[in-house]
Amino acid sequence: MMQHKEVLKPINLELMYVCGITAYDLRHIGHNRAAVFFDVLYRYLKQLGYEVYYVRIFTDVDDKIIKLANENGEKPLDLSKRFCKEYWVDMEALQCLPPTDEYYLRNHIDDIIINIDNIIEKGLGYAMKGEDVFLSVEKFTDYGKLSCQLLEHKWGGEQVEVDPRKRKPAVFTLWKAAKPNWESSWGQPVKPRWHIESSAVSAHYLSPSFVVYGGGADLKFPHHENKLAQTCAVCDDGGVSYWLHNRHVTINNDKMAKS
């Protein structure tokens, strides 16, 4: 988070987590650049003699997936499985090495619920009865450090009208009342939001503290900033030694895709 280049300080096992795809559409070269970028890093670290444990997750529970599945008349998880398979075809064509492990968000709902319970118990988040669960961003003095953003200038990464239920504009959602959903202790059945997914899954497989966290440059804010705040809320430490963000493929200065 020092906003400059640093020499990688080796440890016995390099733990690397990279945000994978949200499986709601076919990938194109703009998306696949991120995979190639971190594949090169993975190969390079291994070539240098590091033992690398590389984890990537597929987001297969998401509003975009649900919306498209409803339009197609299919089950959301069937749709996401289809696009995950297409992604693997792309990776094979690009000759990207498979990560050490790949996981699906749908298999980690319990981990996410445990993380959110922990955050609420510490007084760093709050649940609206029968509705959504929010993280109290204003309680984190270092919020914005990763992305160099001022808290008072941000609205929790939202591009819509600010939710009046939020105690502060920058507060963001951990858990959303929606369908499909899972049972929780905070009211009606709800489903996890994008940011808490990364915190819970990376901590489950790599421990809260690991070496490299990667993703597209567009994820630095709000996704990675919010992930950092959640991890601090759960374990009192941001946990990541090096944040790496790949740039995008552009055409006439317009990026082809998100991360």
List per-block mean pLDDT (blocks of 10 residues) for the chain, which spans 259 residues. 73 84 90 93 93 92 87 92 96 97 88 88 83 85 83 52 65 74 52 74 78 89 87 79 89 72
Q: Which of 232, 193, 213, 159 is nearest to 59 (CA)?
A: 193
SS3 202: helix
Cβ(248)–Cβ(218) under 8 Å?
A: yes
- What's the whole-model pTM score? 0.84
The predicted structure's pLDDT at residue 80? 93
Q: What is the 3-state secondary structure (H, E, C) of 24-44?
A: CCCCCHHHHHHHHHHHHHHHH
SS3 87: helix
The predicted structure's pLDDT at residue 74? 92
The predicted structure's pLDDT at residue 187? 52
In the chain, the domains with their CATH numbers are: 14-254 (3.40.50.620)
Cβ(28)–Cβ(256) under 8 Å?
A: yes
CA-to-CA separations, 150 to 144, 221, 222, in angstroms, rounded: 6, 11, 12
Cβ(213)–Cβ(118) under 8 Å?
A: no
The predicted structure's pLDDT at residue 93? 97
